[in-house]
Structure 1
């Protein structure tokens, strides 16, 4: 054995030397690859940064350009200049100019004077006729958006970048310029928010080489022209790309990544010093080189140690295999399923019972994850117990699963933690014993009782049962909610104390249907009554049916009552009946109820020789309230107006909402037109006071028309038509008045003088 081992050791040494040389070659290649990666990373980062900045600036310029285009379009319309100043400002400056960093928008006339200002109704006194953008449009040599020379603002003194568009008279002649500005400090804010790292710079230039912004170098070079720089010529010729060149300002070698901003005459570039790009690589190269030499020396030294260690491990492995064989033989012959799972829940040992229960071959078990053995559902059930066992808490619990043959097994599982010397759990001993036969008997008894309990608890009606003495034995949850009694409190109490029905009409007590069922030995049909909650006093309208409970000999041993809550269904029926005849918003009678009352009133007037009046009313200016304050406020106005109408008429009169802001008033039992005119005056007086709407006092007028029975018709339809025509005559005559119908072809007669009211809506401030 010794010559063979010495020969193996000799070969291993040369192999280790070869490996060390390979390590050196790999490290050399890695160092060069890291250099390439550093350079490529810098190039990609700068390219991505330029692209992102291009997209952001392009989006901002697009937004500003669209806003300027909209302003130019509006001021080019002659009718805009005829509007009042405040309305003109809202039309021209419609809040679309909201880009961050943008200043105010100014509209210049053909002489360069400011005529409109987005910041104030009265424009500031400025003349910008000497600016390059104004001269470009005035000379007719430019169309579309013009990006001007960066200059200090005459209004604020801050450096700005002007953006302008011309606008023209309808005949195409030059009318003036719309100009906005971007604070140059805004570009520094954008660039300053980026983590550029040391020796980085961002430059924004016009296409002609004029510097707009240089970050982080401040505003010293703003407005400076670099048109003669070779770098600028490359930027202008290529449009976008990357180059390594010396800077025109300080002469340092930099990596430039450049790109045109959208379709605008702007060039954006990101620069980075080449020394800063490779600085980290220089440090890494020295460190990796030293580490490679250390590894090469260590590889040769470890080769000698490995040979000696290999011999010792072979001896230990032989003893371990023998011990494992003895342990497995013992555990495979135990009736329980026994295994060991590490802290990652991977198998380290499993006896033969695992194969019998789960059908997994013994050679496939080591390394298998517990979830793969148990399946998703069973593993999820066992996971909480496993987690606690891995935290050092022994677990004993029952579980049910199906084995490989489809046989359901109920088992008692035990998880015993296996801590190391420090107390950290490194695995779990698992023992699972089949207790299916015992559990089957227990489940059969439990299921029978549970089936009965769940049936009673799941129904939607209240269930109350009592024994032969009338004492409560059971309440389901619905019965607890209706009566206010808990099942454990009610048990043993007299059923009449827990559940007793009261008459819905006079609160008198009904005879207990449950006791009737026990006394008669037969079911009792549904009885409607009221149940009062024990603690809250809440009242429930219920229908109670009861049936006796008998034993196998027919003797009554108790009774069960079922109470169905009909409170909501009865209330809903009453509500639907009310809604069929009343307006939902104002709670006034609707057209259907008005028809019924009008027929009765006409029949009564015909018998008594009396008169009656039909009034049609319409609010003046209701649409203005809706448009200015909103439909919710309009609905609130209608509700207030309805209350004033009801207060202005008799209790025997009918006020009906026709629809929208139209109302109809029926006045029965009159002696001629005078009473109707008096009511009209009362209605006008009631509406004279302003209405409080959304915190404002609003004055709303009223126009109305009156038709009389029998002079103007003997049916509601005829009277309604004539009252409606009189109402429209009141509106055409100046509103805020009533007109009395005077017959076919005749002008309606005014009830009040023409000067009684002014049309329109007034808001008291």
Structure 2
């Protein structure tokens, strides 16, 4: 028994010595294990970065869409609010004529209705205190009881003077859908009836269509309780519907703006929504279809994954080939032929162009895809410098210049490319280094792809997110970034920053008289004049509506303020020629300074806005600091 216990340690010791002897006599086994571990570690370290970049790109795109939806909601909301104020003015004019009798009401009603867009206003009508229709701009009508309408009952019980906007209702006599814009009539402080406008929801919705950019995007107007008033996409199907009650704009009436992502209950489309609350209490929602809007980003990520996968596959292939070569060193000549045949097959059929470059920066070998991308035949490319792929003025942006800089390991870059008898292109190169036994770089392998279309889409996405579609000027988000950049420079150099808030005078009458198309053309010319006045590091942006911002590095003194304001006032006071008409407007200007009025973009814009209202209060075509 004792002899058996002594034998076990001896047997284990012999096995250990045999294993160590096997490693000692098989050094290639240790090398193969080291190569395999390094290959796995390399891929394990590289892929988290790739996946992180994909996630960061989509996150940034979603943030841009959120800002874009909010900007669109604000712009559409301003249009709706302006139209609503016109309706309210018409109601007040007609209500003022009620004490003079129905003939006066009819005269004023016809005048008011005639001044409003005929496609919007279906009729103006008057309901007495008992709820019966007593007047309609359409002419004599049967005695119709409307006292059971929600808007009538709400106004009858309201002690204030509130403008009511009803959800779409189906007319009992006309059979048409309409939105009722109504105010109460008071006599000696007591309820005496209702004056109302019946507005076509279909026609009103068409005003919002110009703000949409994609087929599945939508704009929706709801009241404070979520009842749908207008919707650009399948609007008639939503009449009488109510938004889910858990929405923030219903639960939190004190909030002015917000956003969320949700599937639409009708079409199931996933959208990025942003909303803004109008002064009237209505809420404008803008929805951007995410699948459609994120398609370019998903395509970029898709090709990034493909490139990363191919690079990883090639790297793994090199490791496997090396392991096989070490394992079968005695048959190296035979295996070399097999590997080369396999290698050539992969290169021949792969989608990316491959280019092998020697230590002098000359092309040693290529695959067929290289010739497809560059337009250079394989035989013509061999022995040529890498600069043969680029225009003569590529400079530091060229691939040849970047290859001349010693870089270890794996890297990638874009470069300008030229093709023989064909337009140029934007190429993307993924470069890997090949080392000799001493660790010196002997060759480099570059995978080439044509990314012209992808980069163009990236540029369009960035431009849409940062520039105003109407004037081509920067929007508020980009302007905030530029002001913050000026502030950083001013803090470093102890300098100053001036922000001008410009609000156009007499712009609303232009819209009212000549329509929004003329107003849009006028805003475009205003943007051009302002952009021409300021150069260099100065920035001009449109906030929305008829409001513009100018930011520049300038001394803070009354003389400078006066000169800047006079320059803008003189320019915008000159006549504008729009579709053959000569139009005249002016502007009111507010000026704020850093460091005296604030130390952030939002603070300076708000102070300049306050100064503008101060100038407007003194009379139009003026300025205040």
Q: TM-score, normalised by structure 1?
A: 0.33
Bigger Rg, structure 1 or 2: 1
Q: Give the helix-richer structure, 1 or 2.
A: 2
Q: Please give the TM-score of this superposition, normalised by the length of structure 2.
A: 0.40
